[in-house]
Structure formats: C-alpha cells, structure tokens
Amino acid sequence: MAPNTNLVWKLSGTGITAGDVVGGLLQGSFTVDANGKASFTITLAADQLTEGAETLGARIFADSTSTAVLSSASVVVNDTSQAPLPDQPQVLWGTTASDTITGSNAPDQLAGVPATGTNGASMGKGQIDTLTGRGAGDTFLLADSRGGFYNDGNSRNQGLNDYALIKDFKLVEADKLQLKTNTNYLYRNATVSGVAYTEIFLSNGDTSFTAADELIARLEGSPISGSGLNFFSSSSNSLVWVTFV
Ligand SMILES: [Ca+2]
Ligand SMILES: [Ca+2]
Ligand SMILES: [Ca+2]
Ligand SMILES: [Ca+2]
C-alpha cells in the first residue's frame, strides 16, 4: 500500500470485551510504512471469566469510518481458566507432581497425591502439595489405606522436600487431618518469616525430636494450641482434628 496510508483495526467476536485485551482497546489506528507495509499487535489478557471458548475476529479498514474492509482474520481463544467449584462436597486428588488443589465451600476431601498407586511418587515422595480447603469442615489426607504420604523413606533427614502445605486449616470449621492408625505422630508450632504454622511429623516412635522424624504437613491458618513437642497416635492423646484410617 502507499506509504503513510492510515488504517484502522478493530476487534470483535463472541464474548470479546475490552477486558480481554491488554491496554483495554478494541480498536486503534496504524500507518503504512515507507516499504508499503503495516502491522499492529494486540496482546490478549489473562481471561478472568469462565465462559467457554471465544472467537476473536480482527478486521482492518482503510478509512476511519470503518466501511472498507481490507483484511480480516479470526482465531478461537480457548478458555483455560478453572471454573470455581460448586458449593457441594468434592473429593479431590492430586498427581505425582507438586500440586495446588483448592476445595469448595462445602465439606471436601483433599489429597495432593493420586488416588491409586503405591510407589514413592504416588505416595507423595518429592512433592510439596498446596491444599486449600476453603469453607466448611474439610478432611486433608496425609494417609489412606495404602499407607502414609510424604515420607521420603530416609531416616537420616526430616524429609523437608515432601509435605502437604495446608493453607487454611481451621479448627473452627472442624477441618481434619486423616492419618494412619497405630502410627506415632507429633506436632509442634513454629513461626517462620512471620507466618505461624503447625508442623506434623511422622514420629520414629521415641520422644526425642531428631532427623528420624519425618515432616509430612505444615498447617497455616490457625496454629493448633500446644507448646513444644506433642506426641499422639490413634491410641493416645486423641485429638478432635485428626481422623485415623
Ligand atoms: Ca502431588
Ligand atoms: Ca471446603
Ligand atoms: Ca475448611
Ligand atoms: Ca517428608
């Protein structure tokens, strides 16, 4: 085209709003350069709505009244945003990677590990899974009939590379941990960088705290009351916030 020709671009399509485009503009102008070429760039914004795939159309006009269409193209923008979970009980399982899992405002069951499999990865080895229960009394699984999760199996270190990071453990909501029956555990409270949390360890069975005790969870939100080391199992010091399998 002739250099210096003014062109207009416009975006349209189902579900396309100004919020879908960085800069918030659905139209603009640009000019043909000395080589007879012209281009414009738009950047799509991260979609905040769950509304299904959208079709984005772009048209180029030769005049400001937008009557003479020079070119048009369209692309389908797939909606990859996660739908908020409906407020009904969910049973959520993770993967063998470090997962971020969020429940609903109903009583949920949340696990950061897969529902099946008994090898290390299936049992949470090497993973830090971030679990958020949201409202109501949720159960966070740190064990099931297969055994306990997040144990690296190395008694010479505390296994700080595998645990469930539970972001909103709330006694007032009757949130619970699911642990293994006839197994020794301990918890202690700590504050790191201003964040107070409760750490749950699989205990090696004695009453001293050593590298042989294995970290399996950190609870943020409201630390459990109790100072020092608190040992418990299904047969001793039963706690309202633990359920055993
Ligand atoms: Ca996982
Ligand atoms: Ca919940
Ligand atoms: Ca909850
Ligand atoms: Ca661990």
For residue 123, the CA-to-ligand 1 centroid distance in Å is: 8
What whole-number distance in Å separates Cα of residue 114 and Cα of residue 123? 8
For residue 242, the CA-to-ligand 2 centroid distance in Å is: 16
For residue 133, the CA-to-ligand 1 centroid distance in Å is: 16
For residue 60, the CA-to-ligand 3 centroid distance in Å is: 52
- Output the pTM of the full model: 0.68
For residue 76, the CA-to-ligand 2 centroid distance in Å is: 34
Give, in order, the Cα–Cα distances in Å from 127 to each of 61, 94, 121, 138, 154. 53, 10, 8, 21, 15
Which residues, 6+ apart, have CB-to-CB distance to 194 below 8 Å? Answer: none
For residue 224, the CA-to-ligand 1 centroid distance in Å is: 24
For residue 199, the CA-to-ligand 3 centroid distance in Å is: 18
- How many other CB atoms are found less than 10 A from the CB of residue 20? 21
Per-residue pLDDT of the chain (245 residues; tens, 9 = 90+): 889 888 888 888 877 777 778 888 888 888 899 998 988 888 877 655 556 667 778 888 887 777 888 888 877 766 656 677 788 999 999 999 999 999 999 999 999 999 999 999 999 999 999 999 999 999 999 999 999 999 999 999 999 999 999 999 999 999 999 999 999 999 999 887 888 899 999 999 999 999 999 999 999 977 788 889 999 999 998 899 999 99
